[in-house]
Structure 1
Amino acid sequence: MSTDISPTGPGRPRDEDATAAILTATLRLLAAQGYGGTSTADVAAAARASKATVYRRWPSKVALVAEAIQQGLREAHEAPVLTGDVRADLAEALAAKMRALSDGPLGGAIRAVISHAAHEPELSAAMAMILAGAREHGALRPLVEEARRQGLVAPDADVGLLLDLLLGAPFFQLLVRQVRPDPSSAKALVDLLLGPTAKVEQHAT
C-alpha cells in the first residue's frame, strides 16, 4: 500500500494525519467492540491505513491502545478559559472532563480497557500510568491549588486527595455504575468540595 491513509486531496497524507486517524479509530472500535473484539487489523481498516503503517508506530496492541487513551485524555484535559472565579472555573473544567467521558468514544473505550486490564498486567500497568499522569497534569490540579491558596479549602488540605474526590465521582459513574457521567452535576460536586469551608468563613465574619 503506497499511502498511510486514503488521501482526501492531492499528494501523500502527512504522518500526523495518519496517526490521528489511527488513534481516533482505535477509540471508536474499543468503545463499540471492546478490547478483546478490537484487533490491529480492524483499526487499520477503519483508519484506511495499512497494518504496516500501524506497526511502524506502535509495536503492540497494548502500545496502540495506551496511546489512544492517553491522547483522548490529553484532549479532554485541555486548559479551560479562566474567568478568575476559581469556583466557576473548577466547575467548568470538571464539566469538560465529564463531557469528554460522556459524549464521545473516550468513556466507552476506557471502560472496555479497564475491564480487560485485570487480565493483562502490561495493559493494567500502562493504564495506571496514563490515568495517574492525567490526574497530575490535567487542568484541575492548578485550580484546586488556587482554591487552597484562596482559603476555599483548608490550607493543609491534600490536593491529591481533593483531585481524587472530584475525579472519583465521574469515574465511579462510568466504571462502576456503568452510566454516563452527567456534566450538569459538576457544579454540585465542586460546591460539595468547597462549600463547607465557605460557610465557616461566612460565620467567622
Structure 2
Amino acid sequence: MTSSARATTAAAAGPGRPRDADLDTAIIQVTRERLAEQGYSQISLSEIAAAAGTTRPTLYRRWPTKLDLVIAALEWGFQAQTDSYPTDAIAELEPREAFVEAVRRLDPAYFNEDAMLLMGNFMGEARRTPELLAIVRERAVNPRLAQLEAVLQALRDAGRIRPDVDVRAVATLCFGAYFATFLREDTDHHAVAESVCDTLWPSLAP
C-alpha cells in the first residue's frame, strides 16, 4: 500500500459514532500550523489535540500515528491547492500563457504561504522519516513538474517551441527558481512565474 493510500485508509477508519468533520478540519489545520512552526520531529500530538479542542485518544482514533496525521494534513493541502487552480484548462491558453500558468502552479506557496518552510522541514527529515518527503514528491512535486513538462511537450509537438528543447531541464529550472527566491529573501514569489518565463521564452521560441 502506498503512503497516500495508507493515509486515506487511516483517515477513513474509525468505528463507532460518525466522525465530526469540523473537528477533523480543526485538527488538520492545527497540525499544518505546528508543522510550519516546529517541524515534524518537534510537534506533539497532545498539544495538537489540546489546540484543536479535543483529546489525544480522540485524535488517535482518527489517525493511529503522528505520521498518519501529518500525511492526512499534507493530503488536505495538496487537494486544496488543486481546487484553487483557475477553472480554465491550460491547453486552451495561448502558448506563452500556458507556460506561465504551468510554472505558476509549481510554486510550493501557491496555496499555503508557509509551504516553503514545510518543504525545508521535510527535506530535513529525509533520513529519519523518508515517508514524508516521498509523499510530497508523489502528490505535489512530481505531478506539478509533469504538468509543466506536458505543456512544454505539447508546445514542442505543435512547433510552438524549438524541437530540441529539453523539457525536463526547463521544468527543473523553473521549479528551482522558487527555492532560490526564498533563499535570497525575495518575498514576492508571485512574480517568479512571469519573470522566469520572460527570461526563458525567447530561448524556447523557434
Superposition TM-score, scaled by structure 1 size: 0.69
The amino acid across from 2:104 in the alignment is A
Tell me, yes or no, if structure 1 residue 67 matches structure 2 residue 72: yes
SS at match of 2:93: coil
1:58 to 43, 51, 63: 63
CA 1:48 to 1:188, structure 2 compared with 1: closer, same or farther past 3 Å?
same
CA 1:194 to 1:32, structure 2 compared with 1: closer, same or farther past 3 Å?
same
Identity of aligned residues (%): 29
Tell me, yes or no, if structure 1 residue 95 matches structure 2 residue 100: no
How far, CA to CA, are the matches of 1:20 and 1:189 in structure 2?
A: 36
2:195 to 188, 192, 200: 188
Tell me, yes or no, if structure 1 residue 137 matches structure 2 residue 140: no
SS at match of 1:98: coil
How far, CA to CA, are the matches of 2:40 and 2:132 in structure 1?
A: 14
1:5-154 map, 5 Å: 15-78=20-83, 79-80=85-86, 81-82=88-89, 84-98=93-107, 100=109, 104-115=113-124, 117-120=125-128, 123-138=129-144, 139-154=147-162
Question: Mind listing any 5+ residue stretches in structure 2 that lack a counterpart?
Answer: 1-16
CA 1:14 to 1:132, structure 2 compared with 1: closer, same or farther past 3 Å?
closer
How far, CA to CA, are the matches of 1:190 and 1:65 in structure 2?
A: 34
The amino acid across from 2:132 in the alignment is A
CA contact (8 A) 1:173 1:180 kept: yes
Paired residue total? 184
The amino acid across from 1:134 in the alignment is A
CA 1:195 to 1:55, structure 2 compared with 1: closer, same or farther past 3 Å?
farther
Question: What is the CA-CA distance between 1:103 and the residue it aligns to?
Answer: 5.4
CA contact (8 A) 1:149 1:155 kept: yes
1:165 to 161, 173, 198: 173
1:103-136 per-position Cα deviation (integer Å, ceiling 9, x unaligned) = 5333322222322x1441xx22331342243233
Residue of structure 1 equivalent to 2:204: 197
The amino acid across from 2:189 in the alignment is D
Question: What is the CA-CA distance between 1:72 and the residue it aligns to?
Answer: 1.8
CA 1:42 to 1:178, structure 2 compared with 1: closer, same or farther past 3 Å?
farther
How far, CA to CA, are the matches of 1:106 and 1:48 in structure 2?
A: 25
Q: CA RMSD in A?
A: 3.2
The amino acid across from 2:48 in the alignment is V
